[in-house]
Amino acid sequence: MNKASKFIYFITCYVFFIFTDLYLSQIMVEKITGGYTLSNPVFSLNYVKNTGAAFSILQDSRELLIILSVVALVLLAMYVINHLKSISLKMCFFITILSAGIAGNLHERIALGYVRDYFQLNFIHFPVFNISDIFINVGVIALIILILLKKTK
């Protein structure tokens, strides 16, 4: 696959995941605030306005979190653009998931002043999270695995 095709693939995946994240998050929040409830032994829906980052660190540090998010997105985009020739499609795919997760949380921080979290795990004490957080974690874990697999070859 040539560089232009990889770049188009990156942008297409990125836009798809951002819109999916924002659309599903909006539906989830509308349902929960409209009175819909769901709770089982695995998870429940619990709407929380999070002014911090993961595990409630950096509470009320909106500007810092916005700056860190923008820096992360710029660095990820620069990496993809500078390595289009050698980057694998798997690596590109998981960078788009990670980037879309960061962008989804960034959008909410800028537009709302907080991030909307709504998934709560019931079988373990864990912070409430959202779809963007899932994208970020899947992206990071997959990229670590791909990097480790590449190093062992």
| Ordered per-residue pLDDT tens for the chain, 153 residues | 788 999 999 999 999 999 999 999 999 999 999 999 999 999 999 999 999 887 678 888 899 999 999 999 999 999 999 999 999 999 999 999 999 999 999 999 999 999 999 999 999 988 899 999 999 999 999 999 999 998 776
- What sign results for the dihedral spanned by CA atoms 51, 57, 58, 62? negative
Model pTM? Answer: 0.92
Radius of gyration over every alpha carbon of the chain, rounded to an integer in angstroms: 17
- Residue 133 known to be catalytic: yes
Tell me the domain boundaries of the chain.
Answer: 3-152
**C-alpha 63, offset from chain centre:** 18
Token output for 7: 């770049």
Residue of 84, 105, 133, 139 with catalytic role: 133
Residue of 21, 108, 117, 128 with catalytic role: 117
- Residue 21 known to be catalytic: no
